[in-house]
Amino acid sequence: MLSPKKVKHRKVFTGKMRGVAHRGSTISFGEYALKAVEGGKLTAQQIEAARIAINRKIKRGGKVWIRVFPDKPVTKKPAETRMGKGKGSPESWVAPVKPGRIIYELTGVDEAMAIRALTLAGNKFPFATKVVTKRTSI
The pTM score is: 0.92
24-57: b or e for each residue (b if 16 or more CB lie within 10 Å)? bbebeebbbbbbbeebbbbbbebbeebbebbeeb
**64 found inside a domain:** yes
**1 found inside a domain:** no
**51 found inside a domain:** yes
pLDDT tens readout for residues 4-44: 999 999 999 999 999 999 999 999 999 999 999 999 999 99
CATH number of the domain that 57 lies in?
Answer: 3.90.1170.10
Beta strands in the chain (DSSP E): 32-36, 40-43, 63-66, 72-76, 89-97, 102-107, 129-133
pLDDT tens readout for residues 49-83: 999 999 999 997 899 999 999 999 999 999 999 99
Domain extent for 48: 32-76+87-133
**24 found inside a domain:** no
Q: Count the domains in the chain.
A: 1
**122 found inside a domain:** yes
